[in-house]
Each structure stands twice: as structure tokens, then as C-alpha cells.
Structure 1
Amino acid sequence: MMFRKKKKVNLVKEFLEKGRSVSIKDREEALNYLVAFVAMIRPRLSEFESANKKFAETLQFLHRHDSVVSNLRVAIMAQLINSNLVPLLTESGITVSRGAGRELYARLKHKLLPPAQDPSDFLYLLNRIFFKHNDYEWVEKIGQEKWIHLFELLGLHFSENNPVIMKQVIVSLQILSARVAQLGWENEITFNTPAQWQPPNNPFAVQQYLVYQIKEQVIRHNQSHEAVQALAKRLNAVLSECFQLVQHIRNETADKGTSLSQTFILFQIEQKLNRMILLLDIADADEKINLARFAKLFITVVRNENRKNSIREFLSQTTSYLAYQIAEHKGKKGSKYITSSPLEYWQMIGSAMWGGLIICFVAIFKNLLGLLQMAPFWHGFVYSVNYSMGFVAIEETRSTLATKQPAFTASAVASSLDARKSDEPPNLYNLAVTVSKVSRSQIASFIGNLIIVFPVTYLLVWLYDWATGHPLVQGEKAVQLLRDQHPWQSLSLLYACNTGFFLFLSGIIAGYVQNKINYGRIDKRLTEHPVLRLSLPANRLQKIATYINEHGGSLAGNIALGFFLGMAGIVGKIFGIPFDIRHITISAANTSIGAYGVGWEHINYRYLANVVAGVLGIGFLNFLVSFSLAFFVAVRSRGIRLKDYPGFLKILWKYFRSHPLDFIRPRKRRSAKEPTQTV
């Protein structure tokens, strides 16, 4: 008991009790005071939900004690005046101007061995204050509005009365301005800049000239506030033009495509422009500062310092727009798979019936190829070619394969929530209607595929038996075909999930290749190719270029899917692991082939019913996995957070209860009172 540990008193409360004041000259003491203040706000790891409550209690504490507010203001100014702010203002939260590969390498290197920090650097102090790796979580949870309230309470302001701070702000503004100008002259930007923004009106060049003039006014001549404010107003207008140009280039990527390099450059320009606007707000000789931007910078910097070496964060930020374009290409195609009227519904069934017919021949050829004596790899290769030709034939005949839809319709559904396309909040009722349309369209395509695949495949194997005098498969092989589709006597449902992933991946490949074709202007390069121009007639070359431009992505996706499905089982055999695929239409065809080989007189009909149920389960998992993955990518690439729409599931359930048949087939008539249903 004699050595009881003395309870540590928080430095903020200790200063309050003793009536002490923080000295602006004692930087270390001021830093300890800020560390102690943040410790008062910081919730425990298990109490992140109570972050807002704790913050509110701290604000009440500040309202009751003016001396604490004064000490905080002095402690913050002591750090700002005595620290190097340039790295904070020009680098924190901003990707350095280097390639995506080099940035990724740098983060990986610093993740293993963090770089040394200069104690005079303000970021070093920030890391001392927000030293826990998850501090950014509760800082973000508190929200921008409450941080604004705290900064208003502290009364922070910047003016010419703070020459040290002002000089660093101007230097930072110059650095960012030069970097924006440099990035603005990159080929990926200049080639896509319209005539109205070409030199001498290029906003990326003009802004650098205006920043130089502001520097001359503030630092060297120190002329009237009106002159600086007039320049700041002109610079604000030019920065707005820079944002317009960035958005213009992004908007054109829907038709022209984009690249990781262009995406990375636009991402960097936008980051730097946002920071320049904040610095201009400080440097415009006006003591007022936009606290909303300041609070946003504060939250961003804390997150960046906690996550500065996060590879996942970097990839998520820089590839979001590239993923967005891939999802957009898929979304445009996905709209054709969504039926609205009874006529479209029956057209979908008819289209799916043609697709099912093609799959019947694919399944027959696959089993014939299995009779060939060759090495496992070549078996997988010929299976892959067979599948690819079938999928390409379905694409060229504009027929439908049910499992190809989810990867595309998911992007179309996510587009309904896309805040980038409208300033208005999404209509959740219309989204529920869209989900019902996707559901019935998917059911229509499954029906169309299966009502053809089951009987026509059976007819084809009967014709084969009649023509050759022996069944395509018989005995144990026929039994094995049925067993492979059984829901619990095989791993068919697990393999169906593998197929769902491959369906999703082939959709990504299709979108990516189509994006590259558009961005690389492949059609124009083909028509202007020196050898092709001499060896082919101009009209034929133009047709080839147009075909590749319109169908190149689909061809790549179909061929990729064919090889994924064809090689999967062979890979499993080579490595001795349970790895294979199950595709609903191919499984349905194999069920018919197996049933004919076994013979109706030897079939247990309950067993056959279980096999058919397994085929339907395979189809459901094909759809569920493919749709879920594609929807996740489409939502993430658009920056949509599903938690922002907590009422959607309730609206969807209410719609399902009132119109359950809409999820199976379209209504023939709609009431005039019913809200307009749009996709």
C-alpha cells in the first residue's frame, strides 16, 4: 500500500487547477498540452461509438473554462509559428508527382522501414499528437461540422500579422502551382484538352502566373489588401476552370476510354487544386478563413498520416476512376438485359432460347472432345476453344446466356445510385423497381435457356445414338455426369461459386479491354496502319476497325470466360485439388446426356429430381456470386456508400409485398396513380 501508483493528472486539467498559462515560446510544453487535450477527446478502442458523446462533453468543458480555450489557441499557434509547415501543406494527403508504380513501391518500402522525420516538421508534431494508427477513425466519426464548431470556438485566424505562417503559405502555394502546371502539360492531358482551353488560355498555365503575382504582392511589395484580394478573386476563377477541364476530360472517357496513367494524373491535379483553394483562402489578406475547408484539411491530414503507407488506400484512390469507366462500359451493355414491358420480357425468353440452343451443341462437342486421347493440358485447351466459340457465337447472334447478365446488370443497378450523374438524391422507389426488372429479366433468361437445353440436348444425343449405333456416354460415365450435378453428392454448389467468380472476372476483362480500345483509338490506328492500308481495300479495313471498336471488349470477355471454364477442371487434376466449375446451362445439358446414357428404365426419379434441383442451385449461385462481386466493384468505383441508404431494403421489401409477381414477370397494365417506373 505504501507504493500505490499515483494517478496521473491530465495536463490540461493540471494547468486549469494551478491557473497556469501556456507560453508561445515553449514549443515542447505547448505540444504536451495538445497531446493531453486530444487524449481527453480520444475514445477507447471499444468505445468508438461514444466518440461524439465524449467530444460534446469536451466542448462543454471548453465553454465553461475560457482559460483552456486561450491555452489551446496559444499551444496551436506555438506549433504553427515554430514549425516547418510546407510539407504539411504540399504533401500530406497529396500523392507526390511520380508514377503509380513508383508510388506503390515507395509505400511498400516505408511500410517495412518508416522514413526518418525532422522534429521541426509539423507532420512530426502531428504524429506525436495523433500517434495511434486508428485515430483517423474517431476523428472522421466526429464529423466535419463538430470540428468546425471547435475551430470557431478557438478563434483561429491567419493574416499578415503572422508573417512566418503567411510566408510558408505563399511558398506552399507556389510549389503546388508549379506541380499543377507541370502535370497540366502531360501528354495525357494536352491531347484531350479542347480548343477553348488551349494556350494562351490554358488554365493550368494561367494559374501559375497569377500565383507569382500574389507572391510579389504579399511578400515583396506588401501593397494594399484590395490588390491582393483582386488577384485572389481572379485566381479562384482560373482554379474553377482547372476543375472544369479535369471534369471535361473525365466525362469524355465514357467514349474515349482512359488509362491508369491518365487517371493517376487527373487524381493528382484534383488533389493539388483542392489544397491550393484552401491556401488561397489563407493568403488573400482576409482574416476570415473557410472553416469548412480547414476542417476538411484537418480530417484528411490525420487520416493520411495514419494511413500514409497503406497500399490498399493508395490503390483504392487511384484506380477508382479506372474501375468506374470499366463499370460504365458494362453498365451501358447491362441496360439491354433489363426488360420493362411484356414484349421485351418475351423477347428476352426468345433470345435466351437461341442461346440455349447454341449451348446444346457446345455440351455435345465438349463430350466428344473428351473421347480424344491427349494430354490433360490439350484436353483443357480444346475444351476452352469449344466454350469460347460457343460464347462468341451467342454474342454474334445477339442471343442471351443467362449467366452473362449479372456482371452487366449489376453495373446498371449501381448506376441508379450514382451521385455523379445527378445533383438530386437517388429515387429509392425507382431503384426497387429496377431490382424487380433485373429479377424478372434474369428469370426470363434462365427459363429461355433451360426449356431448350434440357429437351434439345436429349434429342441431339438420341440422334447421335441413332446415327452411330452407340450412346455418346453410357454406364459409369453417364452416372458420373448425373452425380457431378447432384447438390450434396458432389461439390457442384461450391464449383458453381467458382463459375460465378469467373463470370464476374470475364466481365471486368471485357470492360477493361473495351476501355483500352477506346482510349488507344484502335479503330483509327488500324485504318491508318501502313501495311494494312496497302494489303486490304479501304472499305473492308474500315469494317474490320469498326467491328473491333464495337465488339473487341465482348470478344475478349467471351474468350477469357471460355478459357476460365475450360481449364478449371484440368488445373484441379494437375494439382490434385478439388477445383472445377459448374455452369447452369452446361450442367443442364450434361444432365440430359447422363439421363439418356443411363436410360429411363434405370433411373431413380427422386435422384433425378435432386439432380435437377442441383442444376437450379448452380444457376442461383452463378448469379449470386457474379452479381454480388460486380455490384460491389460498381458501387465502390462510384464512391457510393450503401450505409447512406438504410431505408432501401425496407422500400424493396414493401414493394415486393405489394407487387411480388413483378419480380417474376412484368405487369400488363399500370395504374395511372402509380409512380413512373424508370430504369
Structure 2
Amino acid sequence: MAPTPGTSARDQLTFLLQQAEPRAARPERHLWLIALVQWLRAGPQPVLDGGPAPALQPGLPAAVWRLQAVLDALDADPGRRRAVAAVLQRFVLDNDATSLLADFGFTSRPAFWSEFAERLRTKIMPATPDTGDLASLFGLLFNSADDADWLMALPDAQLARVVALFTTPAVPVEADDVAGAAPPVDDIAAHWRAEIAEAITFSVSHVRSAAFSPLLRRRMRATGDVVQDVVTPFRQLASAWEATQRHLHPGERTAGAADEVTPLTQELTYFRALLDACMQAVRTVPEHLEDNGVSVSIVFDAWQLERRIARIEILLDCLVGRENGREHLRMLADFARIVQGRRSIVALVARNTSLLSRKIAERHAETGEHYITHTGREYAGMLWAAAGGGAVMGLTTWFKIGIIGLHMPSMLTGLWVGLNYAATFVLIALLHWTIATKQPAMTAPAMADKLADLSDRRAAQAFVDEVAALTRSQAAGVFGNVALVFPAALALGLAAQWLFGAPLLDAAHARAELASLSLLGPTPLFAVFTGVLLFASSVVAGWTENAFVLHRLDSALRWNPRIRAVLGAERAARWAIWWRANISSMAGNISLGFLFGLVPELLAGFGLGLQVRHVTLSTGLMGAATATLGWGVLHESAFWWAVPGVIANGLLNVVTSFYLAFRLALRARGIGLQDRRLLRTALRSRLRRNLLSFVWPPRAAAAQTGDAP
């Protein structure tokens, strides 16, 4: 069917047009049309009759030039033109257009995971041209990223010539060898208008059923105080469309031109007004989710319902619009974009999790403010809180060594190590102390929250102030953790050695721990991996808090009869308030502990030897090894290679988790490249003028102006 690549454009085109056979089997006709569109998209520059194709407007896509060559060749051969027109008209008559017009781009079951599975199936399973479904055929015809561009670039004169091929009566259509006889249709355009009208009917039915689903109906807001205002436009859509249809059928119109147009115009105006009211109601769903928690499934359902309403508008334009051919072209270009969009699973996830990402970022922005210090008093408080966290982590280090020393199965070891970490992190949070490397994933969204308006230099400067404050806070947190975790682990090891008469960690294992922390080994890679886990725990924290709010669990804790019967009304109220304030912290700490314990063991089962390298835990291991090896270890190179390894741990833990969280926050807030360049410029300027502000808190007066001395 396809022409030989090495032949000239004229020979290829001649070969293609000669293959058009109206009486061929259905898959053969479809294969011919696929080959023709492929030639338009990627064929050679056409040269006809020894000269170039007729000149078109400069800058048009090459496919437009090739289509011009096809049309000119058909005009020069009336017999071949009739055959091609017959194939094209059979394509319209023999295939179901409703699935393309009404359902293309939508999942059959309106749910996020159904669409996810459908896209995965589309990427894996091949399609067949032996089908009467225009939606399936469209994906085979227009499967290039450039198709929408060249379709929209078709000149009006060329578009009219293409429409004539589809609508001008050609040769009689005989029985199809496979699908049976096609009904005789004198007016192809009338048949197509009936298909569009039927597609609108189906779309209206989809819109009504989706809008009446409990998940969406409860989240749509009315313009007034009456809930009935929300659902009334959806309820009236079907009857309004039926009234409009009565004026679309020529047989039911009255004789006078005025009598024909005025009722149709009135009904269309009312129907479009209902569509607009439905669209406004659907667009209130994200506003409800912003206030009451985000569900990816609800976001997807609302997005799909909004697109179905927009599809009805497009079909109406194709049916009654003044520029009928151009409206069809816009619809086809939109379908071509849908083909590309439906091939991307990443695009589906990104689009439907963007609101969830924003809500996670906002939850963290509220929490992250507590981790950023601006004054000397706050800086000292951070040092103190981090020192307390470091002291507890010294004990955690020895618990971890003891668990590993039990030589349990790997997954059981990971479970107990994760429980050890989780209990430690929760205890530190309850004592209002801190672990430094947990801060960046929380503070990055708080910083991005400053980027809501970058219309002037002052907003960029405020952001740079936050960067400097974060850097100072991180320095204080790391210094406080490291300053106490090493002596705490050392003191506990020496105390246990004095009490039991032998070190808890033998010399061989102590040297192995020091060697594992060396900068010369895989420590930097493991530190980046740990930063990813830190970020992952922050996502779990934000997601958990969002789910807590979405399902109104604080209200359930306070008012559920069974809970009130057990706790009492006053205690239930206190628990509800406490969990609402601390659910994010608890979820983040517990998830981080188990991520640290279980993920390395799970990956080891797949042959990936990734390990956790957390700056505070690594420093604690150094203290434990020093307790076993004594002060003579200070003369060994292994110890001094472990020191820069620990420093690298701290830097990479912080930078990785902060970078990932900050990128999430930027995407959630839609910060563009131009604004990012503005921020980088402001940051470089501050580094040149006042490097000390990134290390030490400014004086109060300078802090108020945002420009430290």
C-alpha cells in the first residue's frame, strides 16, 4: 500500500492515488487513508509536471504543500477524483462517528485510575484499522505531534476543496464485503450533521449523570444560598437540547425564513446559557477542595466534566457556526492534540496531582514557618532545639547497633530499625526539639509561598531574605545536632563499656562503620538517596494532612458518638484539636522512620545496595566507633576521611530534600522561567553584598529592612 521511499514525490503520489478503491474491503480502505495522511505528514517535497507545486503563503507547513499537490492531481484526473471521493465518503458513512465526537479523550468510566489503565493499555497494545470506530481510527491517522499545527494552517480555499471531496456525490456505494451494505445517503453533509446532533445528545447525558454524582454534587457551590441553583442547569440541559433539535431538522421547520431562524436562535441562546451555568458550577469544585482537602479522583472527575461541557460547545459551533469548515478544523486539531496527550501517563498524573501538590505545599508552608529563624533569639532557640534532638539521636544510634547485632532476617531488621527511628523522631517532635535535615522539605514550600506575587523587585528581595534565613536555620540545626549527638553516643558507649566490662561494638565493626562513612566511598550517593527519602516523608506528611482535612477526621474525633462515649466530650475535643495541629508532624516522622529502615532492605532484595546516610546518625556512628577504638582513632586516616564524609552527608541531605520540595512548590504555584531568572539574579546580588547574612542572623533594624549589615 505504501509507496517506495526512494521514488520521487510525483511517482509516490500517483501510486497512492491509484490505490484508492471504493469497493475494497474496509481495512484496505482504512490502510490507504492512513498511508495518504502519512505521505502528507512526511513525504518528499512535491514536484509536479516538471515544476514545483503551486506557491502558497510562505511559512506554511510542508504538509499543506503536499495536500495542495494532492488536490491539484485529483482535479487533473476526474476519474481518480471520483474514486478518492468515494473512499472518503464511505469512510464517513460506514464508521461510527459518535464515539469520536462525543467520547474521544474521555475515559468510559469517569475515574482517575480507569484513565490511567486505559493510557497504559494504549501505550502497550497495538490498534487495528479493521474497525468501524472513528475514535480508534483517528489515533492511527493523526499520531504525530505536528498534526494539529498543519491542520490549523490549512488556507480557507484549500479547506473548501477538501470539504468538497467529502460532500460532493461520487460513485454509488455498493455493499461492503465485510460490514454489509451501507445505507444510500444523498446528502453526506446531512448525515454528518445528524452524527453531530447525536453526539451532543450523548454528551448532554454524560454531563447530567456526572454532575449528579454525589462526589461532585456536594462540592459544587451555588451563586446564591439555595443548593437547588447548582443542579438546576444540569437538570434542564436535556429538555433544552431537545427543544433546540426540533428547529435543526429541516422537516420540522416552518416555511418563512424568519420563522426558521428566530426560534432556533432563541433555543440556542438558552441552551448555551445553561452550558455556561453548568461550567461555572463545575469550576467551583477546586475552590471547595482548596478549603476542605484535595482528592485526585474528584479533581479528575471535575476536569473531565468541564471538558465534556466544552466539547458540547465545540460540537454546537460545528453544527450551527458561521465558519462551519473552520470550526471542524479546530475540532480535528483538538482531537490531534488529545491523541498526543493520551499517550502520556506522566501528563495525566501531573495534571491531576497539581492541585494536590499545591495543597501539600500550602500545608508545609504553614508548618515550615516554624523552622525558619529570623532573629538572634530564634537562632539560639534553633540551636537549643537541635541540640536536644542530637542528644536523643545518640541513644537511637546505639539502639540501631543493637538491633543489627541481633542478626535477624533482613526485612525484620529493617522493620525494627524503622520502628526505632520512628519512635525517636516522634519523641523529638513531642519534646519540641528538631532534626536539622527534616527542615528543608518543610521550609521550601514556606519559601515558595513568598512567590505568590513577583511583580516587583521587593517581592524577589523578600524571597532572598527567606533563603538567607533558611540557610542560617539549617546551619543552626546541623550544628546543634552534630554538637551533641557525637558526645552523647560517645558517652553512652563509654558508660556501657565501664558497666559491662567490654565495648558494645567490637573493634572490627567499629572500623567498618568508620570506613562506610568515608568521603572516598559511596557516601555522596547514599546521602542524595537519603535526601530523597526525606522529601518523600514530607510528601507523605502533606498527603496525610490533606486526607485528614478532606475526610473531616477532626470533626469525627470530636463529635462521633462512640469516640465521645470512650473519651468524653471534653477530651474528645482536645484530641481533635491536637491531631488537627500535629497530624502532619506525626505522619512525617513515622513515615521517615520506616522509610529509613525498610526501603534499603527492600532495595537490597533487588540487588541495589543503597544505604541511609543521615548527617546526625552518621555523626552518632562516629561517636560510637570512637567509644570502642579510643582516642587513638584520631591518628587514623579512616577517622579523618569520615569527617568530610559526614559534612558531605549534611550538605547533600539538605540540598537534595530542599531542591525536590522547592521544585514541587514552584510547580504547584506555576512560577515561570522568567520569574526564576529574577530570583537567581537577586540571590547572586545578595551573595556578593552580604555573604554573612547566610550564616548569622542580622540585627533587628537590618532585619526589618531585609538587608543585613
Which aligned pairs between 1:189-268 and structure 2 lie closer than 5 A? 189-194=216-221, 196=224, 198-199=227-228, 201-202=230-231, 203-219=233-249, 221-222=252-253, 224-268=260-304
Counterpart of 1:403, as a letter, is T
Q: Residues 22-64 of structure 1, C-alpha deviation per residue, up to 9 Å, x if partnerless?
A: 9x9999999876554333699xxxxxxxxxx995464996999
Q: CA deviation at 1:269?
A: 0.9
**Could you tell me which of 97, 100, 119 is aligned with 1:85?**
97
Distance, in Å, in 1 between the alignment partners of 2:337 and 2:683 is 35
Q: CA deviation at 1:182?
A: 0.6
For the pair 1:589 / 2:589, whether they are aligned, the reply is no
- Determine helix, strand or coil for the equivalent of 1:330: helix
> In the alignment, what sits opposite 2:519?
487
Which aligned pairs between 1:264-275 and structure 2 lie closer than 5 A? 264-275=300-311
Q: CA deviation at 1:68?
A: 6.2
Distance, in Å, in 1 between the alignment partners of 2:141 and 2:104 is 16
Distance, in Å, in 2 between the alignment partners of 1:659 and 1:79 is 75
**Could you tell me which of 205, 210, 214 is aligned with 1:183?**
210
Distance 1:622 1:10, change over 3 A: farther
> In the alignment, what sits opposite 2:429?
395
Q: Residues 313-368 of structure 1, C-alpha deviation per residue, up to 9 Å, x if partnerless?
A: 54444444444444443344334434455555454444333333332332244345
Task: List alignment gaps of at least 5 residues for structure 2.
Answer: 46-56, 76-80, 168-186, 254-258
Q: CA deviation at 1:273?
A: 2.1
Which aligned pairs between 1:16-95 and structure 2 lie closer than 5 A? 35-39=38-42, 56=60, 58=62, 84-95=96-107
Contact in 2 for aligned 1:481/1:590 (Cα 8 Å): yes
Kindly indicate whether structure 1 or structure 2 has the higher relative contact order, using CA contacts under 8 Å at least 6 residues apart.
1
Counterpart of 2:393, as a letter, is I
Contact in 2 for aligned 1:104/1:314 (Cα 8 Å): yes
Counterpart of 1:216, as a letter, is R
- Determine helix, strand or coil for the equivalent of 2:9: coil
Q: CA deviation at 1:431?
A: 5.4
Which aligned pairs between 1:308-387 and structure 2 lie closer than 5 A? 308=342, 311-340=345-374, 344-367=378-401, 369=403, 379-387=413-421
Distance, in Å, in 2 between the alignment partners of 1:31 and 1:576 is 46
Moved more, 309-318 or 399-408: 309-318
Distance 1:109 1:578, change over 3 A: closer
Distance 1:408 1:517, change over 3 A: same
Contact in 2 for aligned 1:501/1:625 (Cα 8 Å): yes
TM-score, normalised via structure 2 length: 0.75
Distance, in Å, in 2 between the alignment partners of 1:177 and 1:567 is 50
Distance, in Å, in 2 between the alignment partners of 1:455 and 1:647 is 44
Moved more, 616-625 or 662-671: 662-671
Q: CA deviation at 1:474?
A: 5.4
> In the alignment, what sits opposite 2:8?
8
Counterpart of 2:479, as a letter, is I
Moved more, 578-587 or 325-334: 325-334
> In the alignment, what sits opposite 1:454?
486
Structure 1 vs Structure 2: percent identity of aligned residues? 24
Distance, in Å, in 2 between the alignment partners of 1:231 and 1:645 is 49
For the pair 1:171 / 2:198, whether they are aligned, the reply is yes
Q: CA deviation at 1:101?
A: 3.9
TM-score, normalised via structure 1 length: 0.78
Q: Residues 226-282 of structure 1, C-alpha deviation per residue, up to 9 Å, x if partnerless?
A: 443444444444434333333322222234223343233213212212222322333
Contact in 2 for aligned 1:335/1:409 (Cα 8 Å): yes
Distance 1:251 1:163, change over 3 A: same
Distance, in Å, in 2 between the alignment partners of 1:379 and 1:461 is 22
Moved more, 146-155 or 214-223: 146-155
Distance 1:99 1:163, change over 3 A: same
Contact in 1 for aligned 2:129/2:140 (Cα 8 Å): no
- Determine helix, strand or coil for the equivalent of 1:486: coil
Contact in 1 for aligned 2:530/2:653 (Cα 8 Å): yes
Counterpart of 1:184, as a letter, is A
Distance, in Å, in 2 between the alignment partners of 1:334 and 1:290 is 55
Distance, in Å, in 1 between the alignment partners of 2:511 and 2:628 is 8
Q: CA deviation at 1:659?
A: 4.7
Distance 1:248 1:369, change over 3 A: same
Distance 1:645 1:36, change over 3 A: farther
Q: CA deviation at 1:584?
A: 0.7
Distance, in Å, in 2 between the alignment partners of 1:672 and 1:597 is 47
Counterpart of 1:9, as a letter, is A
| Count of aligned pairs | 645
Counterpart of 1:609, as a letter, is W
Distance, in Å, in 1 between the alignment partners of 2:688 and 2:43 is 50
Q: Residues 173-210 of structure 1, C-alpha deviation per residue, up to 9 Å, x if partnerless?
A: 22112111111111111222346462254233344443
Which aligned pairs between 1:507-546 and structure 2 lie closer than 5 A? 507-546=538-577
Q: Residues 490-510 of structure 1, C-alpha deviation per residue, up to 9 Å, x if partnerless?
A: 433333233223222222222
Q: Residues 364-402 of structure 1, C-alpha deviation per residue, up to 9 Å, x if partnerless?
A: 443455566866655444432221111112222333322
> In the alignment, what sits opposite 1:601?
632
Distance, in Å, in 2 between the alignment partners of 1:152 and 1:287 is 13
Counterpart of 2:104, as a letter, is S
Counterpart of 2:322, as a letter, is E
Distance, in Å, in 2 between the alignment partners of 1:617 and 1:639 is 32
For the pair 1:442 / 2:474, whether they are aligned, the reply is yes
Q: Residues 539-567 of structure 1, C-alpha deviation per residue, up to 9 Å, x if partnerless?
A: 11222233333323432231122122234
Q: Residues 58-91 of structure 1, C-alpha deviation per residue, up to 9 Å, x if partnerless?
A: 499699999769989x989969965653222212
Distance 1:477 1:672, change over 3 A: closer
Counterpart of 1:537, as a letter, is G
Q: Residues 515-550 of structure 1, C-alpha deviation per residue, up to 9 Å, x if partnerless?
A: 222222222333344433322211112222333333
Q: CA deviation at 1:660?
A: 4.1
Distance 1:595 1:346, change over 3 A: same
Contact in 2 for aligned 1:513/1:553 (Cα 8 Å): yes
Distance 1:647 1:67, change over 3 A: farther
Contact in 2 for aligned 1:119/1:125 (Cα 8 Å): yes
> In the alignment, what sits opposite 1:624?
655
> In the alignment, what sits opposite 2:643?
612
**Could you tell me which of 315, 339, 343 is aligned with 1:305?**
339
> In the alignment, what sits opposite 1:46?
none
> In the alignment, what sits opposite 2:183?
none
Contact in 2 for aligned 1:401/1:449 (Cα 8 Å): yes
Distance, in Å, in 2 between the alignment partners of 1:608 and 1:96 is 63
Q: Residues 87-145 of structure 1, C-alpha deviation per residue, up to 9 Å, x if partnerless?
A: 222122223334444444444445554454566654466445435xxx12x347x5xxx
Distance, in Å, in 1 between the alignment partners of 2:506 and 2:332 is 72
- Determine helix, strand or coil for the equivalent of 1:405: helix
Q: CA deviation at 1:586?
A: 0.9
Distance 1:532 1:597, change over 3 A: same
Counterpart of 2:234, as a letter, is F
Q: CA deviation at 1:10?
A: 4.8
Contact in 1 for aligned 2:9/2:44 (Cα 8 Å): no
Cα RMSD (Å) of the superposition?
4.9
